[in-house]
Structure 1
């Protein structure tokens, strides 16, 4: 039995993306403490059997004073108890929790779930972040990556050594919760994009494609968006922008949901035209598990979910024309053809992205670092 910390930049993330990890750790007999900023999901983490400790994290901020306070917050928590291992998720946790853990002789297992804009641009912020990653990751005992390209990039830039790294199939999909669910054949082809509402996720291209295709096909097509709006990020879509698109009749904005499977079940195809450097998008894995065709970009992390032409289509990043072409392929299929494509999605997720693979790797990694 070990005293284990699981840490991320929101309680929402830990509950929605790592609930089964927490359950598996507790079932194994470990004591679990969740550390994240307090939000509506903090009590839900406690209901799973984990202790919860609040910490301040300025998710999208670049103020070094706030980040130093985050490091000191982790250090204060870690110094007060005999923790054995910390599992970190999300960027600032991977950096500051790692440094605080090593100060307190705690083993560290990090998860690099995509690199976002870190390697897209050469801004001062990105350069500082890369330096912090390089400094902090030398103290990690294990680093999981969600795609091979991110893993190779870290090794190439000497941000991590080969021996410490391993590959996970994203964060996996819960094949019991996300079961095969064909849409109704009612003559309307419905598309859904689930993500934080960020332009980096391709929201702008989705809107442009929806505007064109609604003009061409009218009520025979429907475009939906689900996810956090007006988040603390320079790429965020504003509430005013979203409302203008809804008023124009281009898209339906569905807000946020803890039961995304209910919304996925209704649609014919999942879309994510992201040019963000993804890990492996959870929404695509869950949609695939439910038997939905996928249209996404030929981009790091996204392309892992699609065998082009079999269970979906890959479009060019930052290209409305390419996205429209692929969405039209879906629209012009028969309902039966879309269902058959969705079956191949389900088979791919079962074979490559079952969440049980992720849970087993984490349990083995904990045993390994404690030895």
Structure 2
């Protein structure tokens, strides 16, 4: 199969999706990645992926930039004609989802989080929820990574009734790349903080 994965950038994909890509390549699928090039580009190419550099502008709210992104997705997906597209992150889910729906390409969005424009009430939320609704409208299956996002989508009627929902237990951690280390008692206290910090701007 010709499989395309779309996400914000190579760093996200390398840290959280490289095992998936490696398995798909190992099974003989032709894998293409659309994202912004940051770090780990060469490592993804060594797996056997074909990469396209697309500036996503994940924090941008410029409608002209988003329209340009939409057109870029359309141009590339129409050219490579994948059998299925896997999308991650907000803008790929929305804009690549819209393009896949127009082109009749099967796609599976992964809702890894909602983001500030969707979560905070106001005019921007009104627009963002409707864009998201249109972006996932043609998806047969929608992956979610937490129950709160599922409830938000249901409460705001952002999913088609025909869509199948699949709640994933997170992205997981590669324990070979991040092995458990023995505890070394001493003057320094070591602790594990499992979370991420995001700067939200209004």
TM-score above 0.5 = yes
Determine the structure 1 residue equivalent to 2:184. 184
Determine the structure 2 residue equivalent to 1:41. 40
TM-score by length of 2: 0.90
Determine the structure 2 residue equivalent to 1:116. 115
- The separation in 2 between residues aligned to 1:41 and 1:184, in whole angstroms, is 31
- The separation in 2 between residues aligned to 1:133 and 1:99, in whole angstroms, is 9
1:1-371 residue pairs with structure 2 within 5 A?
2-161=1-160, 163-191=163-191, 198-199=198-199, 234=201
Please, which runs of 5 or more residues in structure 2 have no aligned partner? none
Check conservation: 2:96, 2:135, Cα contact below 8 A.
no
Structure 1 residues 148 and 180, CA gap change in structure 2 (3 angstroms): same
Check conservation: 1:56, 1:73, Cα contact below 8 A.
no
Deviation at 1:123, TM superposition (A): 3.1
Farther-moved stretch of structure 1 (99-108 vs 183-192): 183-192
- The separation in 1 between residues aligned to 2:20 and 2:71, in whole angstroms, is 26
- The separation in 2 between residues aligned to 1:61 and 1:150, in whole angstroms, is 22
SS at match of 2:8: coil
Check conservation: 1:62, 1:125, Cα contact below 8 A.
no
- The separation in 2 between residues aligned to 1:199 and 1:137, in whole angstroms, is 26
Residue correspondences, number:
201
Check conservation: 1:7, 1:35, Cα contact below 8 A.
yes
Structure showing greater radius of gyration is: 1
- The separation in 2 between residues aligned to 1:55 and 1:180, in whole angstroms, is 36
Deviation at 1:79, TM superposition (A): 1.0
Deviation at 1:193, TM superposition (A): 5.0
Q: Which has the higher helix share?
A: 1
1:69-95 per-position Cα deviation (integer Å, ceiling 9, x unaligned) = 000000000111221000001100000
SS at match of 1:93: helix
Deviation at 1:180, TM superposition (A): 2.6
Deviation at 1:179, TM superposition (A): 2.9
TM-score by length of 1: 0.51
- The separation in 1 between residues aligned to 2:6 and 2:150, in whole angstroms, is 21
- The separation in 2 between residues aligned to 1:127 and 1:41, in whole angstroms, is 36
- The separation in 1 between residues aligned to 2:164 and 2:125, in whole angstroms, is 23
1:225-268 per-position Cα deviation (integer Å, ceiling 9, x unaligned) = xxxxxxxxx38xxxxxxxxxxxxxxxxxxxxxxxxxxxxxxxxx
Structure 1 residues 44 and 114, CA gap change in structure 2 (3 angstroms): same
Alpha carbon RMSD of aligned pairs, Å?
2.0
